Structure 1
Amino acid sequence: MGLPLEGVRVLAVEQYGAGPFGTQHLADLGAEVIKVENRHTGGDYARALGPYFVEGAKGDDNSLFFQSINRNKKSLTLDLGQSEAQQIFRQLVVGADAVANNLRGDVPEKLGLTYDALKSANAAIVCAHCSGYGREGPRREWPGYDYLMQAETGYFHLTGEPEAPPTRVGMSVVDFMAGTYMALGLVAGVLSARSTGQGRDIDVNLYDTALYNLSYLNTWALNSGYDPLRVPRSAHVSLVPCQLYRTSDGWIYVMCNKEKFWPELCEAVGRPDLARDPRFATYADRLDRRDELTVILDEALSARTSDAWLRELRGRVPVAPIRTPRAALQDSRLEAEEKIETLALDGSEEFRMLRSPIRAGGNDASRACPPMGHDTVEILQDAGYSAEDIAGFRERSLI
């Protein structure tokens, strides 16, 4: 069985985080993703981003950060700042399904990456854009980055303990979400284009993504005047109990997100009386007495270790240990279920990565992203250019 996006070709003018993360989803699902880089400006600057690199690899473009979001892609060098290179790109568009970019909002038009610029080459081309603030409006020329979006849309306000300073979420979640939305929009556009012959622009931006993913909190605020606030111990804003609790040697996270789990928890911790206590009968009652209930459950759960409670509660009440990322990667299930794979660079230097969480059957063995420009000649020849043409492109610094 093949992978679901086999036969889809995507030209990706991308760098750093959101765009590469999104197109890696496409590559993992079988699309031919061609990473377009400008050799004269160093290509995707994430190639040299430290502090960790593939051990034993030569050169400065084997960043583990870079490899983590660029597997299964090809690499083509092309200086799109030159008009002749843009004509070469248009020729590549003839045989492509989509163009993806994560450039500043005003740049795609300058480089000829919009549907209006490319439709004469391929009426079915889908042009997916992932910018900071969009391609229109007063901020289109602003550089935009994940942490800025978290700060401006409320993530810093929501994260951490109530008395702590504004706090960002631990990872670049806005980049990753925006890239994933771009990939989803691109696939939807290609699906439409294959049935209608009509391509389009697909637009995603980091700011809209960050705001949209606050989801029901925004709906509450828009309709009820709700003002989101931090809740102690990483608790849910309305479901109780659903937070961190102390054990004799640390913490666990308990999540009674359905009423049926509340009496199970009471029984497990040796306090069946709590399930019958009218003070804690419903979510609303427990929300009103969250602090009181925290003291009671802390006392009960502090009688045993975290591991003991995990054994007791698993399968009965939703519960999880509090781990570091490194400890999470040592879970034996990851190896047993083949969720970690080993990739090799051209020189056979190996490194390990987590597989995509989307398992779609087929041959999903991964390839490391090759050195910059590794596939340039093959791709240009496939587009109809001769060896003499390609030599001329090199002489004129187009590739």
Structure 2
Amino acid sequence: MNRPLDGVRIVAVEQYAAGPYGTQLLCELGAQVIKIEAPSLGGDISRGLGPYFLGEADSQFFQTFSRGKQSVALELKTPQGRADFERLVAGADAVVNNLRGDQPEKLRLRYEDLEAINPTVVCAHLSAYGRGNSREAWPGYDYLMQAEAGFMTLTGEPDGPPVRFGLSMVDFMTGSVFALGIVSAILGARASGTGCDVDVSLFDVALHQTSYPAVWAMNEGHHADRLPRGAHPSISPSQRVRTQDGWGMLMCQTERFWRLFCDLVDRPDLQADPRFLDMPARRANLDALTPILDAIMATRTGAAWMAYLGGRVPFSPIADLAEALDNPFVAEVAMRDHIDHPARPQGLDMLACPIRVDGQRMPAARAPALGEHTDTLLGPKAPGSAR
């Protein structure tokens, strides 16, 4: 199997979600990711995050973010632990962390701290608010970023309270950007012979993801309102609709899709109606269009509409998580995986890596036990010594 990052070694001082999500993507693509875990703290905090545990110092949450990685147990703040850490740094392409912005300096994880050990090493830092600013020492989490970057006021119904995403998407987006920054810097260091620092923050990525509404706001004073049914701010109809058995999402993102939809539902009159003649008109008359769409869509179930419209006009029934996972298309594209785990005889069902290389998804393996690879990577601990 072609794993593009085979031979890349990453030493990760990481915990919880955003950082481990990014390094797991790199691990699945072939990188050797070595987690540095402090035994005094019980290792990565997510090992103890329930409600579903897998024996001692392990959980399904932890498995979600650290599959295929290696674990070295050492105390970074002790002389022996620091010495062992620097032995790993000497052979690493990158040293990464997702600590508070003030911690890389205190723990000596910056390029200026490690350059003498490894001149080509990339030092990547993922934090809540970045480094070198008034908030570098602040703790921060996904939901805070959704609040401050404006996500919550863009989500939900117009007459309802602000709503957060159902998933920690800022963590996942930031982890993905982190992975891109790490790989890009490694390529640059290999070409130049000189490493660097790379910084990514939850706040910066969250704000960046406000994208075109932010550009409209900065240049035109545009105020992005929440529209009924989760409707698109400028394209119509692109919103939730009622089907015979629930909700669906109809997305006529182009005039062609709108015309085709009208033809397929035998409503050519809608194309000729001045209220719905073009995209701006439909957007302005959304309140009139929505009940018409509901009446049309209520004639079939969501599955029947999917079978009829699929591949022609963008539509999907709105599924709950169990339905989403049982979707036959998920099996067709092999997005579910299964790993062995010593604490679970039947194994553990997981989601597969979303990246294919040469048509193949990357193989999965369980996350490591705390300190499982310490002796392999550092050699047996000498009697009486501490890591």
TM-score normalised to structure 1 length: 0.93
Which residue does the alignment assign to 1:124?
120
Q: Kindly indicate whether residue 101 of structure 2 is the aligned counterpart of residue 112 of structure 1.
A: no
Pick closer, same or farther for the CA change 1:309–1:188 going to 2, 3 Å.
Answer: same
Counterpart secondary structure, 1:329: helix
How do residues 25-36 of structure 1 correspond to structure 2 at under 5 angstroms? 25-36=25-36
Instruction: Quote how far apart the aligned CAs of 1:171 are.
Output: 0.5
Instruction: Quote how far apart the aligned CAs of 1:135 are.
Output: 1.2
**What's the RMSD between the two structures over aligned residues?**
1.5
Instruction: Quote how far apart the aligned CAs of 1:307 are.
Output: 2.2
Deviates more, 1:245-254 or 1:187-196: 245-254
Q: Kindly indicate whether residue 281 of structure 2 is the aligned counterpart of residue 281 of structure 1.
A: no
In 1, distance between residues paired with 2:270 and 2:203? 44
What stretches of structure 1 move > 4 A for 4+ residues in a row?
none
Instruction: Say if 1:76 and 1:375, in contact at 8 Å, map to a contact too.
Output: yes
Instruction: Say if 2:111 and 2:197, in contact at 8 Å, map to a contact too.
Output: yes
Counterpart secondary structure, 1:69: helix
Deviates more, 1:303-312 or 1:195-204: 303-312
In 2, distance between residues paired with 1:347 and 1:308? 42
Which residue does the alignment assign to 2:371?
373
Q: Kindly indicate whether residue 185 of structure 2 is the aligned counterpart of residue 189 of structure 1.
A: yes
Question: Which of 270, 276, 282 in structure 1 is aligned with 2:266?
Answer: 270
In 2, distance between residues paired with 1:79 and 1:319? 53
In 1, distance between residues paired with 2:138 and 2:186? 29
In 2, distance between residues paired with 1:219 and 1:363? 37
Instruction: Quote how far apart the aligned CAs of 1:296 are.
Output: 1.5
Instruction: Quote how far apart the aligned CAs of 1:88 are.
Output: 2.2
Which residue does the alignment assign to 1:351?
348
Instruction: Quote how far apart the aligned CAs of 1:346 are.
Output: 4.0
Letter of the 2:97 counterpart: N
Instruction: Quote how far apart the aligned CAs of 1:363 are.
Output: 8.0
Which residue does the alignment assign to 2:228?
232
Question: Which of 133, 138, 156 in structure 2 is aligned with 1:160?
Answer: 156
Cα offsets for 1:199-255 (capped at 9, x unmatched):
100000001111001111111111110111111111111100000111222121100
Instruction: Say if 1:245 and 1:253, in contact at 8 Å, map to a contact too.
Output: yes
Letter of the 1:81 counterpart: K
Instruction: Say if 2:353 and 2:361, in contact at 8 Å, map to a contact too.
Output: no
Letter of the 1:235 counterpart: A
Pick closer, same or farther for the CA change 1:13–1:158 going to 2, 3 Å.
Answer: same
How do residues 231-310 of structure 1 correspond to structure 2 at under 5 angstroms? 231-310=227-306
Instruction: Say if 1:35 and 1:73, in contact at 8 Å, map to a contact too.
Output: yes
Which residue does the alignment assign to 1:9?
9
Instruction: Say if 1:345 and 1:370, in contact at 8 Å, map to a contact too.
Output: no
Q: Kindly indicate whether residue 357 of structure 2 is the aligned counterpart of residue 360 of structure 1.
A: yes
Counterpart secondary structure, 2:105: helix
Letter of the 2:258 counterpart: W
Letter of the 1:141 counterpart: A
Counterpart secondary structure, 2:313: coil
Instruction: Quote how far apart the aligned CAs of 1:366 are.
Output: 1.3
Which residue does the alignment assign to 1:384?
none
Instruction: Quote how far apart the aligned CAs of 1:148 are.
Output: 0.6
In 1, distance between residues paired with 2:32 and 2:108? 21
Cα offsets for 1:64-98 (capped at 9, x unmatched):
11101110100001111224422321221110000
In 2, distance between residues paired with 1:338 and 1:314? 20
Question: Which of 81, 84, 87 in structure 1 is aligned with 2:83?
Answer: 87
Cα offsets for 1:137-178 (capped at 9, x unmatched):
111111010001111111111111111112111100001111
Instruction: Say if 2:353 and 2:362, in contact at 8 Å, map to a contact too.
Output: no
Instruction: Quote how far apart the aligned CAs of 1:268 are.
Output: 1.9
User: Identity of counterpart residues, as a percentage?
Assistant: 47
In 1, distance between residues paired with 2:134 and 2:18? 22
Which residue does the alignment assign to 1:397?
386
Which residue does the alignment assign to 2:21?
21
In 2, distance between residues paired with 1:297 and 1:184? 42
Letter of the 1:397 counterpart: A
Instruction: Say if 1:270 and 1:300, in contact at 8 Å, map to a contact too.
Output: no
Instruction: Say if 1:269 and 1:301, in contact at 8 Å, map to a contact too.
Output: no
Instruction: Say if 2:355 and 2:361, in contact at 8 Å, map to a contact too.
Output: no
In 1, distance between residues paired with 2:74 and 2:109? 13
Letter of the 2:386 counterpart: S
Cα offsets for 1:288-320 (capped at 9, x unmatched):
111111121112222222222222211220001
How do residues 66-77 of structure 1 correspond to structure 2 at under 5 angstroms? 66-77=62-73
Letter of the 1:7 counterpart: G
In 2, distance between residues paired with 1:9 and 1:320? 41
Question: Which of 163, 168, 172 in structure 2 is aligned with 1:172?
Answer: 168
Instruction: Quote how far apart the aligned CAs of 1:348 are.
Output: 6.4
In 1, distance between residues paired with 2:342 and 2:325? 26
Instruction: Say if 1:86 and 1:112, in contact at 8 Å, map to a contact too.
Output: no
Letter of the 2:351 counterpart: L
Letter of the 1:44 counterpart: D
Cα offsets for 1:350-389 (capped at 9, x unmatched):
10101111011478321101210000011113xxxxx4xx
Pick closer, same or farther for the CA change 1:363–1:278 going to 2, 3 Å.
Answer: closer
In 2, distance between residues paired with 1:294 and 1:333? 29
